[in-house]
Each structure stands twice: as structure tokens, then as C-alpha cells.
Amino acid sequence: MSERLYIFDTTLRDGEQSPGATMNSAEKIRIATQLEELGVDIIEAGFPAASEGDFEAVSLVAKAVKNIQVAGLCRASKADIDKAWGAVKLAKNPRIHTFLATSPLHMKYKLQMSEEQVLERAVEAVRYAKQFTDNVEFSAEDGSRSDRDFLCKVFSAVIEAGATTLNLPDTVGYAVPHEFADLVRYVMKNTKDMNKAILSVHCHNDLGLATANTLAAIAAGARQAEVTINGIGERAGNTALEEVVMALHTRPGLAPVKTGIDTTRICPTSSLVSMITGMIVQPNKAVVGANAFAHESGIHQDGVLKNPMTYEIMNPELVGLSKNNLVIGKHSGRAALRSKLEEMGYQLSDEELKKVFVKFKALADKKKDILDADIEALVNEDIMRGGEYYSLDYLHVGCGTTVTPVAHVKMKIEGESVSGFGDGNGPIDAAFNAITKVTGEKPELLRFTVSALTGGTDAQGEVTVRVKDGEFISLGKGADPDIVTASAKAYINGLNRLNHLKKNPVNKESF
């Protein structure tokens, strides 16, 4: 019989630690709600001790979701544990997730603690957390580079102290599948009372092996997988939820496990996370990339037309891709738009739908065919980015072959109207300079990319910027049929995210 594999999603915590991928509270709630619809078992909502903003966001997520566990990450200290419990205690099923490094390298240089001190601290932390809830997870940071016997000693001790989930992280993405699977088997065999806890794994992708290591661990007996949507996270990222789930679905013989994931919501969730974080999904990304089900070769096309299984090991509809993209247009009503949004995984209030519908009609007057990507851009722009410090009211740009480009911009800063002018080497440079003068913000522009959301000359342009101000880096995203306007929206979105990050810095303590 199949055993349950618990899906622990850390998009809101480890995923947010991707450079520039910071999220505000409203955005975290949107993703959390979508993750609940997707069917994950546990959401790690954040690191409450990192900042007051993160504490508030975790608290709001704990209240917003109804049927899944909500975890707060904390170091092995009473102060951190108090913060974590304070943030998650209103969840229907709260979890305290505490961690401490166990590798010789981390103990010597980072913690400056002996094995005995680490063991004592880990036990104290779990016992203290156990006073608040029976649902306590302990992670051995840098577990894949820890001494095996010491790792089992720590795990045995924290089980006795009350831990119900033990997490074995490959913190720096150092492991390879066969040795990681062997480590999982060793831990399960040599940890006292291992039957009283669930063994979890948390893998990073520094060598491109996060999914492979996770699958190997599951086959060896791990029964919780810690993952993120689109594999976002520190450095090269984390194990991608969609890859693990679809690998197990497509190859059921890999391990006798089943998940509670509704696979048809995978692509909508991927798009939502990409929209909110500004982290672009690479076209050749497994399962959710734009090219994942595209066929260029004539031989492949011929095979797929005769039988899709010749070159497709998964049905596109199984992961939430619709064959019929052209569903609504300028004559569609509000009910049709709501139905389409629900099909795409968005649950909007009447007021939110009203806002999107107005913009939808305006776009339909400019663009004949409205595709899924267009609708996602509208939802992201009008709903997902609530509570912005800066907003754009008006933009006019003059340019040509014989004149210096100049831009006039009107904005709101915390609700107060301001305006200004700027010039530059081109219309986008002029618009950026005008925004800089109005806001007084002068971040360094690290990256500027433009792409079309859909095909056709009337397609919306999507702009992504990466901006840096001191130690803070953020991503900004904007979409519009006018590429200059899209650029201005992206730049302002980046400034908003920088503003949020300065007020709520992400704590980089992670595993």
C-alpha cells in the first residue's frame, strides 16, 4: 500500500531568500491561499524573528489558511521560538520548526560550539517548543556534511525531547543521489525511536541535483519533502515541488508513496509565484517552463500528432495547461472573466473582480485576443501588488531621431500626487530618470529584460528589472501593450519592493 508523502512548501520562507524575491504580506497571503488549493500539507510561512514585517506576514498567513499546517522557522533559542509560536499560534494546525547546525564545519566556525553543546542546545530547544505545541520539527543544518553517528545521536535525543519531524537538509547542495539515499537509510536504521517521527529532506540545487537527491531520499524512506514552487530559493534554489510531484506521478514505481497535490493547479501556482516574486521561469524549465510541452522538430511534431505519448510523458492538462487559450475577448462579460479566473486558480472578491474587469475591457480595446498570460498580468498588476508606496498615474514620453527624449511623469507617493520631468538617451531612460527625480530614489539598475507575453504585434510587453540600493536587491515586473509604460511600471514595482525590503529585511540564516 502507498504511504503518504507530506509536501512541505517553503516558497514563502526559503523561496523569499532568492535575491530580490521579497514579498509583502498581501502577496504572501495570495500565494499561501493558492498553495492550500494546490494541496500542500505544510506551509513554512516565514522566519518570524527576522523582522516585525515577517512576524506580521506569518501571522496573517496562519489566520488566512484553514486546512493545512503552518510552520514558523526559528533558531534553537527561546527568543526565536517565542516569536515563531506568537506568529503561528492562531493557525488551525501550527508547527514550530527549529534548527541547529550539526556539521563539524558549521559547529567550529559558525557556532563555535562543541558536539556536547550542540546536542544540549538542540534538546533544550525542542523541549521548550514542545510546551507550545506537539507539532515540532527539528532540522540538522548542513546535515549532509555531518558525522553520521553524531547526526543520529542528535536525532535520537530530539525525538526523546518531543520532535515529531526530523529534517535532514543538504544545506549547500553538496550531496549526490546515491550517497544521500545511503545517508537516509543509515539515519533511519540507527536513530533510536525513529518510528515515532517522520524523516524529512530539504535539498538545495547547487549542483543541479536537488530533485534527484529528494527522489532518492524518498525511495530510501523519507516521508516529507521540503520544496518550493519553481525551485526558487537561496543561491541556485531548492527542490522544485512540481518536479518531485510529477516525477512520482509519472514514475509511480520509484517509491510506494502518494501526495495530496492537485496536479491541475501546478501551472497556475507556478505562474502566480513567478508574477509575484518577479522570478522568471526559464523556458526549458521542467514541467512548468514555456517550452515544456512545445515541439519544434518535425519528427517530434509528427509523432505527437499521431500519439502524444511518443514525445510527451505527461499530459499538459494534468499540470493545468489548457489546450484552448483563446477563451474570452472584448465582448465577454464579468461572469465569463470570473469563470476564466477561477479556471486559472484565482479566487477574487467582487471588488477585486471589478478592478480587474475595468482593466480587462481597456486591454481588449487595444488587443484582439486576450490570452491567459494577459489575464495573469492584469491580476498581478491590480490585485497582487496592493499597498504600494509608489504608484503611476500618468506617463508621457516624447522622442524621435532628431530630438532628445523627454518624459513627464505623474505619480502618487503614499497617496500624495507629485510630478516631474526627465530626459535620457532613449524613451525608457528618460522615463526612468523622471521617476528617479520624482521619488528621490537612485538605485543601480543591474538588469533590464523585455519579452512578449504572447504572440502577435499587439502583444503585451513584459519588462523585468533588477535594482540594487546598498545591500538590498529587488526585482520589479510590469506589463503593458506599450513597452515604455511597461518599463515604468516595472521600475516602480522594483522601487516598491526595495522600500518593502528596507523596512523588512530578510534574515539570511537558513539551511
Span 176-226, pLDDT tens digits: 999 999 999 999 999 999 999 999 999 999 999 999 999 999 999 999 999
Mean pLDDT on 429-434: 97
Query: Per-residue pLDDT tens for 16-40?
Result: 888 777 788 888 998 999 999 999 9
pLDDT over 90 at 511, yes or no = no
The Cβ of residue 315 has, within 10 Å, a number of other Cβ atoms equal to 12
Distance from C-alpha of 511 to C-alpha of 158, rounded to nearest angstrom: 18
Residues in the chain, total: 511
So what's the pLDDT on residue 324?
A: 46
In sequence order, what are the beta bridge partners of 423?
Answer: 406
Angle at the Cα of 419 from the Cα atoms of 414 and 423, rounded to 5 degrees: 130
Query: Per-residue pLDDT tens for 61-106?
Result: 999 999 999 999 999 999 999 999 999 999 999 999 999 999 999 9
pLDDT over 50 at 298, yes or no = yes
Which residue spans within 142-265 are E strands per DSSP? Answer: 165-170, 198-203, 224-227, 257-258
What's the distance, Cα to Cα, between the start and end of the chain in Å? 33
Query: Per-residue pLDDT tens for 125-162?
Result: 999 999 999 999 999 999 999 999 999 999 999 999 99
pTM above 0.75, yes or no: yes
So what's the pLDDT on residue 305?
A: 61
Distance from C-alpha of 98 to C-alpha of 104, rounded to nearest angstrom: 19
Sign of the CA dihedral with 23 first, then 80, 171, and 94 last: negative
CATH fit for domain 390-503, picks 3.30.160.270, 3.40.640.10, 3.40.50.300, 3.30.2010.30: 3.30.160.270
Q: Which regions of the chain carry the CATH code 3.30.160.270?
A: 390-503
The pLDDT confidence band at residue 477, using thresholds 50, 70 and 90, is: confident
The x, y and z cell numbers of residue 23, run together, are 514579498
So what's the pLDDT on residue 385?
A: 53
| CATH code given to domain 3-277 | 3.20.20.70
Q: Which regions of the chain carry the CATH code 3.20.20.70?
A: 3-277
Higher pLDDT, 351 or 167: 167
pLDDT over 60 at 384, yes or no = no
Highest mean pLDDT pick, 110-114, 330-334, 346-350:
110-114
So what's the pLDDT on residue 507?
A: 60
Among candidate residues 154, 140, 74, 137, the one with its CA nearest the CA of residue 103 = 140
So what's the pLDDT on residue 456?
A: 75
pLDDT over 90 at 308, yes or no = no
Percent of the chain with pLDDT over 90: 65
pLDDT over 50 at 417, yes or no = yes
What's the gap between Cα 229 and its chain centre? 5
The x, y and z cell numbers of residue 346, run together, are 484565482
Helices 350-366 and 372-379 cross at an angle (nearest 10°) of: 130
Find out whether 363 and 376 touch, Cβ atoms under 8 Å.
no
